[in-house]
Amino acid sequence: MDRRTYQTLAPELEEYADRVAQHFQDHGYRIQFEKKDLGFPYTPTLVAMRERTTLILEVDSSIKHLRLEAWARYGKSCGHDLRVIVCLPDHIQVASKSRTTSL
C-alpha cells in the first residue's frame, strides 16, 4: 500500500493508520480513507467493509468517549451491521475503566 496523506489525522498517526488499513485489507475488507457521509457524526479515519459488515476505524492517540457515544447512537440508527473500533498506537496506556466501557 502506498503512503497516504490524511486531511483529518495527526501526522504522527499516519503510519499507524496505514498499517491498520493494510491489516484489514489483508483480511478481505475494502477500505475507504476519511470517507465523508452526511449521516456520519464525524469523518472516520477509515471505513472498512466486507459483506454486510461495516467497520468505522478511529485512529487516535486517546479514547474520545463523547465521539464514541455519537458513533454508538449512529450505529443504533443504522439498518446494517456497523461496528466502531478505536485504534491506538502500542505505546498508549489505556485506563482499565476505558477498556471495559460498553456503550
pLDDT tens-digit readout, 41-57: 999 999 999 999 999 99
User: Domains along the chain?
Assistant: 11-100 (3.40.1350.10)
8 A C-beta contact, residue 50 and residue 80: no
pLDDT at residue 92, rounded to an integer:
76
pLDDT tens-digit readout, 28-38: 999 999 999 88
